[in-house]
Structure formats: structure tokens, C-alpha cells
């Protein structure tokens, strides 16, 4: 048996035979075009066929996110600029499939050049090209196989059209060679509850029917497991799902020490099940793909929809986190163009320096929605680097009548100055995704740097420990809302360090709840101490008694 490594993006374990996504159609060598009008008709028929198929899938999708993504693809396919450009290519001598492929290649290059979020959407365009080319050539649509038995789906990357139709009882797990933690594969797999690993080197070389076991938490993929082992992995996963479905109530260690288990959401529709509250409301999702910012009233409604679903419960709203991997078209005018290192540039709270009205409108909208509902609304800023920035943000919140203000700790400078920051704010929330990226100088989207981005890295644990200690001294809460909070074993470390709340995708909460309930606070402290004393992530896991990683 050998092990491949990728990034775990949707927790859970699964095992089964590998099946690759049906390959995309290859273009035949360019024929001479004798009848340009017939080629243009062929383009229109292909567009109509593909749009109808994608619409059918959108209507059948059980999941809102999936349906929206598919509808966005229909819009791309039926956009007149696409057919106009294809017509022009046909006039210049191309056949229909070649014309469509060339036009979509130009769109793709533009998305890639834009970088970040848009660059991750190139799989949507590739999928559209493959479908349109297949339709022109009269070939079957590329897509997910249906062999009549459960399997592990392997692909270079998955387009929304593929992921949206997935049935979790047949597709037991997903492994992709590309994609990042914020790609559609990751987002949709998490929402569907299918264990998934992305950026897994070597997965494309596996032959169909090889049996693998994957861990969507750690990113490990074991190749060549026996059928018996696969059956026992799936049986254990099924038992876990049943016990998780029944698991309820607030987060507590075995001896009753409370650790709030909160949800990371992008809007009201992500609120599933019974949650103690929201620890990270990523408001930037409201602003994505817009050329104008959402108006104040639109924001009030979006915030109120979340607050009114959680009367009496805590909702931590994060103000706009734009820039780098989250480019916002409407801010483009205010931001420097072509930054060489956007992740080190104007992003997060720094955007407010360029566009102060964006922050003040947002704070007004949050305050209005909070006043109209009964949620316990807390507000925090992303990407704070200094105590002065924290103090300025807290003053702005208070001026808008928002009494509970905090900051995210995502920059090592802020972690080191946590005691000073806590003089001006009421709480800290550690964003371990960015804190890892900036501590290890390792782009969080790079699968090949996954080892540096491992939350068990002792340097990261030391920074978290410093923040937790600062919180204890100040008597103020310190939570974690990065992906590391969703790792049940790492949650024990965080609890042992004194972290008071853990915020994660709602589906991840039951496993963390179970892990906490099985350990006393003293055991968590011992696990944390052992992890902190280690020199490598593997040693940290092993020292904490969580296996060699």
C-alpha cells in the first residue's frame, strides 16, 4: 500500500474503487469550412443543447449553491458575445467546434490573468468548452460515470455541472489533481457532505478500479487497500454519520468545560441544523461578482435574515474581506492595479483606507439589522496587523452603536501583539488559514506546500497559544474560525490551549462535539502541551497521541 497526499477539503473517510471522470472530447484536425452558415447553425444548436442540459441539472440539483453555479454557466453559454465571437471565427475559416474552443480559450486566459477567485472559476469554462465541443461533434456529454456501484470519483478538477448531480450514496468520495480549498469542488463537496481531497499529486496516474481510502480531513489517500479494509472504512464512516446525526447540544469537554461550537457561514442559507451561534459570517460573499457594492438596505436585509434566525444567540459578523484571492470588481478603481503580491497588499481591513465609505455603510447596515432583531451581534475586522488598526476599527464600530467588537488574528504581527490589541477590543478570533499562510510564507492555495500549511506546525500552535494566554490575562474570549477548528483532534489542542470557541462549516460540528465530549479539560491541556513541545507536525500529532499523521 502507498500513500498519496493532497489537501483535505471536506471531512470524513471513504473507500472504494477509483473511477475517472469521462475524458473531454478531443478536437479533430481542422476541416475546410465550405458552408459558414451551417457551422454557425451548429454553434447555435450546441449552445441550445448545452444550456438545456445545464438548466435541467440546475432544476434537479438538491442544493442551492450547486443550482446557482449551474445557472451562472448557462448565462456564460447563452451570452451573445460568445456566439458573436464564434461567428467571427467561423467567418475567418474555423469549423464550429474549433471556433467555440478558440473563443473559450480566450475567456480562460482572461480569467487566469485576473488571478485568485476568477482563476479558480476556469474549470467552469473548461467544462463549458468540453460540453459545447461534444455537442457540435455529436459525442456524448463528458461527465460523471454511472457504473451501477459506489465508487471514488477522480478528476483533474470538477466542474459545477459534474459536482451538482453527485449522489453521495454512489459517489463515496472525491479526489482531484487540481483545484484549491475555495474551488467549487471543495465548496460543493462540503455542502453535500462528500469527503474530498484536492491537489492530490499522482492521483491522475491511478488506473480505474484501483481501491483507495481517503481522509477528507488530513488529505491522505491510501492506494491499494483491500476490499475488506474498504468495507470497514465505509462501515465506520456510516456509524459516525449516524451518531453525528443524533449528536446535539452545546460543546463541552467530558468534565463539562464549555467550548462554543459555532458555524462559519456566507449567508442565511448556510444555516443548517441546530447551531449554538455563528462564529464567522463571511459577508464578502454578498459583494462577489458585483460591479457595484450592495446598497445599505440590501445589506440590512441579508444581515437581518441571519440575525433573525438566531434570536438570543451569538453572531460574529466579519466586515468585508476583499483583495488577493477574493477580488471584488467594484473596488478595482480604488485598489492599485497589478499588485505583484496581492496577498501582501491592500486586502481585508486595509481596503477601508482606500474606500472608507464601504466600511461605514456596512457598519450602519449591521447596526440597523442588529437593532431590528434579537441576536447577540459581534463585529470583527479581517487582516488586522497592528494594535492601532484594531483600536481604530473598534472606535468606528462603537461610533455606529455596535458594542462588541473584535479582530481576526491572521497576521503574525497581530498574534505577537495580542495583549496590546486586547486593550481596545472585546475578543479575538484566530483565522488559522491566513495565519498559516503568513507565518510560513506559503500561499494557502498551493497544494504542494501543504506540509507548511498544516495546522499542527508547532510555530502556528505557539502563536495560537500566545493569543489564548493574552485572552486569559485580559479576561476576554479568543476563538478560532479557520479550517483547523474543524479537525476533531486539533480541536482538543485548541481547547487545551484555552481557546473558548471553535467555528467551522456546520457539517463539521458533530465530529468536533464528539471529540470534546470524550476528553476532559485536563487531557486536552496535556495534548496541547505535548503538541506545543514538538518540532514537526508529525511529531506534534504523535506526541498528542493522535497518530503519526
Query: Which residues does the annotation mark as catalytic?
Result: 184, 481
Closest contact distance (angstroms) between CB of 434 and ligand PEP is: 3
All cell numbers assigned to 428? 479575538
Nearer to Mg ion by Cβ, of 53 and 410: the residue is 410
State the number of binding residues for Mg ion (CB under 5 A): 3
Nearer to ligand PEP by Cβ, of 157 and 284: the residue is 284
All cell numbers assigned to 212? 483507495
Q: Which does 519 bind (CB under 5 to 8 A by kind): ligand PEP, Mg ion, none?
A: none
Q: Which does 432 bind (CB under 5 to 8 A by kind): Mg ion, ligand PEP, none?
A: ligand PEP
Closest contact distance (angstroms) between CB of 398 and Mg ion is: 24
3 state SS of 323:
strand
Q: How far is CA 445 from the centre of its chain?
A: 11
Closest contact distance (angstroms) between CB of 265 and ligand PEP is: 11
> Among 11, 173, 431, 496, which residue interacts with ligand PEP (rule: CB under 6 A)?
431
Closest contact distance (angstroms) between CB of 439 and ligand PEP is: 12
69: contact with ligand PEP by CB under 6 A: no
All cell numbers assigned to 310? 438566531
Q: How far is CA 346 from the centre of its chain?
A: 21
Q: Is the torsion defined by CA of 474, 477, 483, 489 positive or negative?
A: positive
Nearer to ligand PEP by Cβ, of 39 and 434: the residue is 434
Distance in angstroms (rounded) separating the CA atoms of residues 323 and 116 = 9
For residue 193, count other CB atoms closer than 10 A to its CB.
15
Among the listed ranges 290-298, 337-345, 431-439, 487-495, the one in contact with ligand PEP (CB under 6 A) is 431-439
321: contact with ligand PEP by CB under 6 A: yes
**Burial (CB count within 10 angstroms: exposed 0-12, middle 13-18, buried 19+), residue 74:** buried
* Cβ contact 432:406 at 8 Å: no
> Among 25, 482, 488, 537, which residue interacts with ligand PEP (rule: CB under 6 A)?
482
Residues 6+ apart with CB under 8 A from 219: 5, 6, 7, 8, 197, 200, 450
Restricting to residues 168-197, which ones interact with ligand PEP according to CB under 6 A? none
- The 3-state secondary structure of 34-88, one letter per residue: CCHHHHHHHHHHHHHHHHHHHHHHHHHCCCHHHHHHHHHHHHHHHCHHHHHHHHH
Closest contact distance (angstroms) between CB of 203 and Mg ion is: 28
3 state SS of 361:
helix
DSSP assignment letter at 372:
T
DSSP assignment letter at 23:
P
Nearer to ligand PEP by Cβ, of 404 and 432: the residue is 432
Instruction: Name the residue whose CB lies closest to ligand PEP.
Output: 431
Closest contact distance (angstroms) between CB of 127 and ligand PEP is: 25
* Cβ contact 306:329 at 8 Å: no
385: contact with ligand PEP by CB under 6 A: no
* Cβ contact 260:509 at 8 Å: no
201: contact with ligand PEP by CB under 6 A: no
> Among 360, 433, 526, 538, which residue interacts with ligand PEP (rule: CB under 6 A)?
433
Closest contact distance (angstroms) between CB of 305 and Mg ion is: 23
Restricting to residues 80-119, which ones interact with ligand PEP according to CB under 6 A? none
3 state SS of 104:
helix
Restricting to residues 425-444, which ones interact with Mg ion according to CB under 5 A? 431, 434
State the number of binding residues for ligand PEP (CB under 6 A): 10
> Among 157, 270, 410, 454, which residue interacts with ligand PEP (rule: CB under 6 A)?
410
Q: How many residues does the chain have?
A: 549
Distance in angstroms (rounded) separating the CA atoms of residues 459 and 534 = 10
Among candidates 54, 186, 187, 194, which has minimal Cα distance to 127? 54
507: contact with ligand PEP by CB under 6 A: no
Strand 151-155 relative to strand 171-176, pairing: parallel
Among the listed ranges 264-272, 310-318, 351-359, 424-432, the one in contact with Mg ion (CB under 5 A) is 424-432
Nearer to ligand PEP by Cβ, of 386 and 433: the residue is 433
Q: Which does 454 bind (CB under 5 to 8 A by kind): ligand PEP, Mg ion, none?
A: none
**Burial (CB count within 10 angstroms: exposed 0-12, middle 13-18, buried 19+), residue 228:** exposed
432: contact with ligand PEP by CB under 6 A: yes
Among the listed ranges 326-334, 407-415, 521-529, 532-540, the one in contact with Mg ion (CB under 5 A) is 407-415
Distance in angstroms (rounded) separating the CA atoms of residues 261 and 282 = 17
Q: Which does 259 bind (CB under 5 to 8 A by kind): ligand PEP, Mg ion, none?
A: none
3 state SS of 353:
helix
* Cβ contact 195:61 at 8 Å: no
* Cβ contact 318:382 at 8 Å: yes
Nearer to ligand PEP by Cβ, of 100 and 430: the residue is 430
Closest contact distance (angstroms) between CB of 190 and ligand PEP is: 13
Write each residue from 455 to 474 as x if it is in contact with ligand PEP (CB under 6 A), else as -, in one continuous string: --------------------
Strand-pairing partners, residue 7, are: 198
Nearer to Mg ion by Cβ, of 135 and 384: the residue is 384
> Among 13, 282, 417, 513, which residue interacts with ligand PEP (rule: CB under 6 A)?
282
Distance in angstroms (rounded) separating the CA atoms of residues 71 and 416 = 45
Nearer to Mg ion by Cβ, of 410 and 454: the residue is 410
124: contact with ligand PEP by CB under 6 A: no
Instruction: Name the residue whose CB lies closest to Mg ion.
Output: 434
485: contact with ligand PEP by CB under 6 A: no
Closest contact distance (angstroms) between CB of 145 and ligand PEP is: 33
Distance in angstroms (rounded) separating the CA atoms of residues 80 and 199 = 34
481: contact with ligand PEP by CB under 6 A: yes
Q: Residues interacting with Mg ion, by CB under 5 A?
A: 410, 431, 434
Residues that bind ligand PEP (CB under 6 A): 280, 282, 321, 410, 431-434, 481-482
Amino acid at each position: 500500500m502507498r500513500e498519496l497526499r493532497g489537501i483535505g477539503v471536506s471531512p470524513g473517510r471513504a473507500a472504494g474503487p477509483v473511477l475517472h471522470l469521462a475524458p473531454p472530447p478531443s478536437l479533430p484536425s481542422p476541416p475546410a469550412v465550405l458552408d459558414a452558415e451551417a457551422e454557425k447553425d451548429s454553434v447555435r444548436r450546441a449552445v441550445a443543447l448545452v444550456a438545456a442540459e445545464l438548466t435541467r441539472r440546475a432544476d434537479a440539483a438538491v442544493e442551492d449553491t450547486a443550482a446557482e453555479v449551474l445557472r451562472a454557466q448557462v448565462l456564460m453559454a447563452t451570452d451573445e458575445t460568445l456566439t458573436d465571437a464564434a461567428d467571427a471565427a467561423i467567418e475567418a475559416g474555423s469549423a464550429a467546434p474549433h471556433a467555440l474552443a478558440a473563443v473559450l480559450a480566450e475567456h480562460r486566459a482572461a480569467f487566469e490573468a485576473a488571478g485568485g477567485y476568477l482563476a479558480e472559476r476556469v474549470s467552469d469554462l473548461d467544462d463549458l468548452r468540453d460540453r459545447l465541443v461534444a455537442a457540435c461533434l455529436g459525442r456524448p456529454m463528458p461527465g460523471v460515470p454511472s457504473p451501477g456501484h459506489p465508487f471514488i470519483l477522480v478528476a483533474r478538477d470538477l466542474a459545477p455541472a459534474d459536482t451538482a448531480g453527485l449522489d453521495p450514496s454512489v459517489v463515496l468520495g472525491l479526489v482531484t489533481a487540481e483545484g484549491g480549498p475555495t474551488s467549487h469542488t471543495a465548496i460543493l463537496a462540503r455542502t453535500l457532505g462528500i469527503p474530498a481531497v484536492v491537489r492530490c499529486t499522482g492521483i491522475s496516474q491511478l488506473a480505474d478500479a484501483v481501491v483507495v481510502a481517503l481522509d477528507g480531513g488530513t488529505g491522505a489517500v491510501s492506494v491499494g487497500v483491500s476490499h475488506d479494509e474498504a468495507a470497514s472504512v465505509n462501515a465506520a464512516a456510516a456509524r459516525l454519520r449516524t451518531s453525528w446525526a443524533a449528536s446535539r447540544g452545546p460543546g463541552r469537554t467530558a468534565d463539562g468545560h464549555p467550548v462554543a461550537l459555532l458555524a462559519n457561514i456566507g449567508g442565511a442559507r448556510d444555516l443548517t441544523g441546530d447551531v449554538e451561534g455563528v462564529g464567522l459570517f463571511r459577508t464578502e460573499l454578498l459583494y462577489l461578482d458585483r460591479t457595484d457594492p450592495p446598497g445599505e438596505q440590501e445589506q440590512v436585509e441579508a444581515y437581518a435574515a441571519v440575525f433573525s434566525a438566531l434570536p438570543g444567540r451569538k453572531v460574529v459578523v466579519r466586515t468585508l474581506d476583499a483583495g488577493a484571492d477574493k477580488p471584488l470588481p467594484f473596488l478595482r478603481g480604488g485598489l492599485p492595479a497589478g499588485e505583484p503580491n496581492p496577498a501582501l497588499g491592500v486586502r481585508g481591513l486595509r481596503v477601508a483606507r482606500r474606500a472608507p465609505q464601504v466600511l461605514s455603510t456596512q457598519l450602519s447596515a449591521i447596526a440597523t439589522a442588529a437593532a431590528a432583531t434579537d441576536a447577540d451581534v459581534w463585529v470583527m475586522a479581517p487582516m488586522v496587523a497592528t494594535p492601532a488598526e484594531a483600536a481604530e476599527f473598534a472606535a468606528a464600530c462603537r461610533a455606529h452603536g455596535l458594542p462588541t467588537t473584535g479582530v481576526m488574528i491572521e497576521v503574525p504581527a497581530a498574534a505577537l501583539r495580542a495583549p496590546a490589541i486586547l486593550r481596545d477590543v472585546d475578543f479575538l478570533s484566530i483565522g488559522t488559514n491566513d495565519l498559516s499562510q503568513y507565518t510560513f510564507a506559503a500561499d494557502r492555495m498551493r497544494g504542494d506546500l501543504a506540509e507548511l500549511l498544516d495546522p499542527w506546525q508547532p510555530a502556528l500552535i505557539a502563536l495560537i497559544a500566545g493569543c489564548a494566554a493574552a485572552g486569559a490575562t485580559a479576561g476576554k474570549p479568543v476563538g478560532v474560525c479557520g479550517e483547523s477548528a474543524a479537525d476533531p483532534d486539533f480541536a482538543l489542542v485548541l481547547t487545551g490551549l484555552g481557546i473558548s470557541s471553535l467555528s467551522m462549516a456546520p457539517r463539521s460540528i458533530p465530529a468536533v462535539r464528539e471529540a470534546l465530549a470524550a476528553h476532559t479539560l485536563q487531557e486536552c491541556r496535556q495534548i496541547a502541551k505535548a503538541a506545543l513541545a514538538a518540532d514537526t507536525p508529525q511529531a506534534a500529532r504523535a506526541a498528542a497521541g493522535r497518530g503519526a499523521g
